[in-house]
Amino acid sequence: MLSLLFLPLILKLLILTQASAVESDFPIVGIFTMEWDDFGYNTTKNYTSYIAASYVKHLESGGFRTIVIKYDIPYEEIDYLMSRVNAIMLLGGRANLVKRKKGKYQFTEYANKALYVVNKAIEMNDKGVYYPVFGTCLGFEAMFVAAAGENVLERFDSEMYRSIMYFTEKAPTSRFLRGANPALLYDLSYEPIAFENHAFGVSYEKYLNNPRLTDFFDPLAISKDRAGKINIAIAEGKKYPFYAMMVHPEKPPYEYYFPEINHDIRAIQLGHYFVRIFASEAKKNSNKFDTDFEFLKNSARSYDLYFTHYPFEQTYFIL
């Protein structure tokens, strides 16, 4: 009888213990924001940056919790937040990495901060902290520029473009793609399923002729733009858990304004696969916030979410 009286308490303790174990298994990713663009909505608040909500949804679909790392905060604040998260996400967007000033090309503020984040992640990995970085589109470009130590970007005609993936000999044994469904990879090799949207990229030729890039990255897939020019589409770090892609895995399930975005189930499956791999990599990092409040005040969900439809269905506007 006594044991029956304590049964509800025992069950409650078991449930709380189990819930705690599950919650601790949720990796936290720091999303590096894009510099402000109101896309013509003329908002009255003094927002400084934004995040397309599709990235947050995409990451959460893989079990991530998400926080915001504003691109315009001081470097010491970036250091602090990077020491609390398990991985970094560098977004795609239309910000410039390079600008022309007084006849010379210089990195923008956004580029300098993004390159800092990549180099900080390299430093942390070198110190024994397993620290994954995932970059899409502009994030891909920032990772390659950081690895090369110079601007290696070229013009490509790949805006609003469905592409075919040509997988390299490294793909089958790579960390990133070795667990992918062979049937899905086969379809990606013969049908324009993947969605790309970029005016700049890294050519395969430039990669081959740049020792710093060949030492740092393994190309896993290449694609051709409308003119047949070859660019690197998917790559992973040789030494570091870095994953870069020109493919947009977040758009097929969540973005609908542009008809070029592919909503084929295979495009969605590709995104699901990528985020699962990224989450499994992030779980190898043990960083954490000291308190739940500290996490919540930096959470992406604590910022203003707007239905914008163009160019993203929903957008987080960041003060």
Catalytic (active-site) positions: 137, 248
Give the per-residue SS3 of 99-121.
EEECCEEEECHHHHHHHHHHHHH
Q: Give the pairing of strands 28-32 and 242-245.
A: unpaired
Rounded CA-CA distance 127/210 in Å is 26
Q: Tokens 């984040």 correspond to what residue?
A: 117
- Which string of b and e fits 272-288 if b means at least 16 CB within 10 Å? ebbbebbbebbbebebe
Rounded CA-CA distance 50/45 in Å is 13
Largest Cα span, the chain: 86
Rounded CA-CA distance 45/54 in Å is 22
C-beta neighbour count of 242 within 10 angstroms? 27
Burial, 298: exposed, middle or buried (Cβ in 10 Å; 0-12, 13-18, 19+)? buried
Q: Give the pairing of strands 65-69 and 28-32.
A: parallel
52 beta partners: 315
316, 300 Cβ separation under 8 angstroms: yes
- Which tokens hold the place of 69? 């790392």
Rounded CA-CA distance 53/313 in Å is 8
